[in-house]
Amino acid sequence: MLAEAWRYLVAHPAPFATALAVHVALSAAALAIAAFVAIPAAIAANRRPALAIALANSANVGRTLPSLAVLALVMPVLGTGFVPSLLALTLLALPPIVQNTLAGLRSVEADIVDAARGMGMTAREILRRVELPIALPAIFAGLRTAAVQVVSGAVLAAFIGGGGLGDFITAGIAMMALPQLLVGAIPVTLLALGVDFGFGALQRRLTPAGLRA
């Protein structure tokens, strides 16, 4: 069975490479955009309690929404293809990054911020030298969660014409062709595991030495 899948892959290198490239591109782009939006938003919200609560609540709700439902909601509005898929995946990636960044910033004890302020640090210096370094492990935990979610969601992008490895899976299921199915399912699983592991390692590396338990 695996041998058949391998033979199928070897016979169709180009479609596979394209699907893989699209999948990675979708995932990476969605994660990057989400990070560029969510992290600054969480940082800004951290200073204003009312905004922080609103943002946290939105993220909580966003986190519960079924991934396929979000993709499906985007389709009637924006059509099918790469861009609508990218938008939907970005939306899926926002909540975990927001939640974890907020949690990370909130974990900085009030005394530490008070001492920093009392010593004469500006707000920006406090953020850069104290709050962000301490919150960094949590931020990366959020990025890791979002990354896996996005890789998984990108599989579903096949349903709205986004391309990616999901195409092989859906084609395989539709035609009851196991080799094709495996050519989609196994690489994407490996991709997800790899991303999870990679971000985990990155998170550990970036944790300041003083904070490692």
Partner 1 sequence: MAWLVRNADQVAIAFVQHVGISLSALAIAFALALPIGVWAARNARVQAVALGVAGFLYTIPTLAFLALLIPVVGLGPANAIIAMVAFSLIVLIRNIATGIRQVPPDVVDAARGMGMSATQVLLRVELPLAVPLIIAGLRVAAVTVISVSVVAAYVNAGGLGTLIFNGIATDHPPKIWSGAIAACALAIAVDASLSALERRVRRRRMA
Partner 2 sequence: MIALDGVRKRFAGATTAAVDGVSLDVAAGEICVLIGPSGCGKTTTMRMINRMIDPDEGRILVDGRDIARVDPVELRRGIGYVIQQVGLFPHLTIAENVATVPRLLGWSAARVTQRVDELLALVDMDPALYRARFPRELSGGQKQRVGVARALAADPPLLLMDEPFGALDPLTRAALQDEFLRLLRELSKTIVFVTHDMDEALKLGTRIAVLREGRVVQYDTPAQLLAHPADAFVESFVGEDRALKRLALMTASRYAVPMALDAGAHRLQAGASLRDALALLLQDGARPLAVIDTRDVVVGGLDLQTIRAALAAAPSM
Residues within the interface to partner 1 (CB under 8 A): 1, 60-61, 63-70, 72-73, 75-76, 148, 151-152, 155-156, 158-160, 166, 169-170, 172-173, 178, 181-182, 184-186, 188-189, 192-193, 196
C-beta of residue 31 within 8 angstroms of C-beta of residue 196: no
Q: Does 211 participate in binding partner 2 (rule CB under 8 A)?
A: yes
Buried-state track 173-198, b at ≥16 Cβ within 10 A, e below 16 = eeeebbbbbbbbbbbbeebbeebeee
Which of partner 2, partner 1, none does residue 116 bind (CB under 5 to 8 Å by kind)? partner 2
Which of partner 2, partner 1, none does residue 115 bind (CB under 5 to 8 Å by kind)? partner 2
Q: Does 106 participate in binding partner 2 (rule CB under 8 A)?
A: no
Q: What Å distances lie between residue 195 and 10, 28, 148, 201, CA to CA? A: 24, 11, 7, 10
Nearer to partner 1, 105 or 151 (CB): 151
Given the structure tokens 């931020």, which residue do they identify? 139
Nearer to partner 1, 139 or 156 (CB): 156
Nearer to partner 2, 104 or 162 (CB): 104
Which of partner 2, partner 1, none does residue 112 bind (CB under 5 to 8 Å by kind)? partner 2
| DSSP code for 51 | H
Q: Does 117 participate in binding partner 2 (rule CB under 8 A)?
A: yes
Among the listed residues 116, 139, 146, 165, the single contact to partner 2 using CB under 8 A:
116
> From its phi and psi, is residue 66 left (phi > 0), alpha (psi between -120 and 50) or beta?
beta
Indicate the length of the chain as a whole number: 213
Q: Does 11 participate in binding partner 2 (rule CB under 8 A)?
A: no
Helix (H) or strand (E) holding 150: helix 132-156
Which of partner 2, partner 1, none does residue 185 bind (CB under 5 to 8 Å by kind)? partner 1
Distant-in-sequence, close-in-space partners of 37: CB < 8 Å, separation ≥ 6: 90, 94
The window from 115-123, 154-162, 171-179, 194-202 that contacts partner 2 (CB under 8 A) reads 115-123
> From its phi and psi, is residue 80 left (phi > 0), alpha (psi between -120 and 50) or beta?
beta
Q: Does 114 participate in binding partner 2 (rule CB under 8 A)?
A: yes
C-beta of residue 136 within 8 angstroms of C-beta of residue 153: no
Among the listed residues 13, 49, 76, 120, the single contact to partner 2 using CB under 8 A:
120
Nearer to partner 1, 82 or 130 (CB): 82
- Mutual angle of helices 49-64 and 13-47, in 10-degree steps: 150
